[in-house]
């Protein structure tokens, strides 16, 4: 099979971790007789520096004509402390999500048996944790009306959702729940917010289409607490954009390292695959970042391209590297650690 994949390394450690994913994907392609044509494009601060736009039209063209997009990370500290900056790397990410129609952000959290003691949570709480958030990604307060009034002394951001936006996200949640344990949790703040009441009403109306799925409704503050207390109570969780942003960072802690969790952003056609961690500027260029989240994101990509054996080959080799201690310093516990590029080489050789 011939695949065309858009490659967006982005900022910070993005290029380094993306390089490892490319090595591993090429090794998988070789093993299964595929040919991957990588189309590199600019995003984030790297794109601002080069062409003054964090998501240039040319990049959009490349993404929308590819079979999938593999993305590293964006963000640069030089923009973080400058509230007056006119263009920011994050604007590129939001525009990319919107223009590619990536409304469903799939963020799994699971534990690796060999790393269970890396988690700050007690072993007995997290053994067997395996849950997935479906975060709505192109609506809500991220894209609502915002502004200043009162000579700049009052600021507002609004959270707006339509029934159609909620339905399409919830449908993906119901479908995923059917493939998994049949448990779906709708996370909202329906005791306070009108938009949350529309979420609840919409999801409740869909329940009869999916009689096999057992749906619960929980307030976001309670989920924030129960997620780290009893993570094994959850399987598939659906939620709006901002709640999902916050809860998925919280959930990533369960696995023990930010450097491990992959993600997918899906729409009607194209999918974008990226590690959940950010650009980690302190580590950029040092060849120390953990590439596994990006490599596992590539596995999600193969799954969605209906190449599940290829995806399994990636997950197997990642598990083997963890079991054999071929890990970057974040997982080495002060013992022998390997460089980002060495982990990538090992994975590619052992696929
Ligand atoms: C994420 C990030 C982004 C978000 C930022 C970088 C805009 O935190 O992907 O979770 O808030 O969506
Ligand atoms: Mg976030």
201-233 pLDDT tens trace: 999 999 999 999 999 999 999 999 999 999 999
Nearest CA to ligand 1 atom 10: 245
Beta pairing partners, 132: 108, 236
Ligand minimally distant from the alpha carbon of residue 142: 1
Domain 1-102+267-351 and domain 116-256 have a common topology: yes
Across the chain, where does the E strand assignment appear? 2-10, 35-40, 68-73, 104-110, 130-136, 146-149, 154-157, 183-188, 214-219, 236-239, 262-266, 271-275
- Mean pLDDT within 261-267: 96
pLDDT of residue 84: 81
Q: Are 227 and 237 in contact (CB under 8 A)?
A: no
Active site residues: 142, 189, 221, 245, 249
Nearest CA to ligand 1 atom 8: 245
The token duo for 264 is 């997918």
Q: Which atom of ligand 1 is nearest to the CA of 75?
A: 6
Ligand 1, residues 278, 281, 293: which to mutate, most atoms within 8 A of Cβ? 278
pTM assigned to the model: 0.94
pLDDT interval class at 155 (50, 70, 90): very high
pLDDT interval class at 268 (50, 70, 90): confident
Quick check: CB of 245 below 6 Å from ligand 1?
yes
pLDDT of residue 118: 86
> Distance of alpha carbon 350 from its chain centroid, rounded?
26
Ligand minimally distant from the alpha carbon of residue 263: 1
User: Has domain 116-256 been given CATH number 3.40.718.10?
Assistant: yes
The token duo for 346 is 């090992």
Quick one: CATH architecture of 1-102+267-351?
3-Layer(aba) Sandwich (3.40)
Distance from the CA of 249 to the center of ligand 2, in angstroms? Answer: 6
Domain ranges of the chain: 1-102+267-351, 116-256
């Amino acid at each position: 099979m011939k695949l065309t994949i858009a490659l967006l390394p982005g900022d910070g450690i993005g290029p380094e971790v993306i390089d490892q994913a490319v090595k591993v994907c090429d090794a998988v392609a070789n093993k299964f007789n595929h040919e991957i044509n990588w189309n590199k494009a600019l995003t984030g601060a790297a794109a601002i520096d080069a062409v003054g736009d964090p998501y240039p039209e040319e990049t959009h063209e490349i993404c929308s004509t590819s079979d999938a997009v593999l993305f590293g990370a964006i963000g640069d500290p030089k923009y973080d402390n400058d509230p007056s900056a006119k263009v920011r790397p994050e604007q590129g990410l939001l525009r990319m999500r919107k223009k590619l129609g990536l409304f469903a952000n799939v963020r799994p959290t699971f534990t690796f048996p060999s790393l269970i003691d890396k988690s700050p949570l007690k072993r007995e709480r997290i053994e067997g944790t395996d849950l997935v958030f479906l975060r709505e990604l192109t609506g809500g307060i991220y894209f609502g009306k915002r502004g200043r009034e009162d000579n700049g002394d009052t600021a507002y951001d609004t959270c707006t959702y339509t029934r159609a936006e909620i339905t399409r996200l919830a449908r993906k949640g119901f479908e995923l729940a059917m493939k998994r344990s049949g448990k779906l949790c709708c996370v909202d703040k329906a005791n306070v917010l009108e938009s949350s009441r529309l979420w609840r009403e919409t999801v409740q109306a869909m329940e009869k289409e999916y009689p096999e799925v057992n749906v619960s409704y929980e307030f976001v503050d309670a989920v924030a607490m129960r997620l780290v207390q009893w993570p094994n109570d959850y399987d598939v969780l659906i939620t709006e954009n901002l709640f999902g942003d916050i809860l998925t960072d919280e959930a990533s802690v369960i696995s023990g390292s930010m450097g491990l969790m992959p993600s997918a952003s899906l729409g009607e056609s194209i999918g974008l695959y990226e590690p959940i961690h950010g650009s980690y500027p302190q580590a950029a260029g040092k060849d120390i970042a953990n590439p596994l989240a990006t490599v596992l994101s590539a596995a999600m990509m193969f799954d969605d391209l209906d190449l599940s054996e290829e995806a399994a080959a990636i997950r197997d080799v990642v598990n083997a590297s963890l079991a054999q201690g071929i890990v970057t310093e974040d997982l080495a516990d002060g013992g022998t650690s390997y460089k980002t590029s060495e982990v990538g080489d090992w994975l590619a050789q052992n696929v």
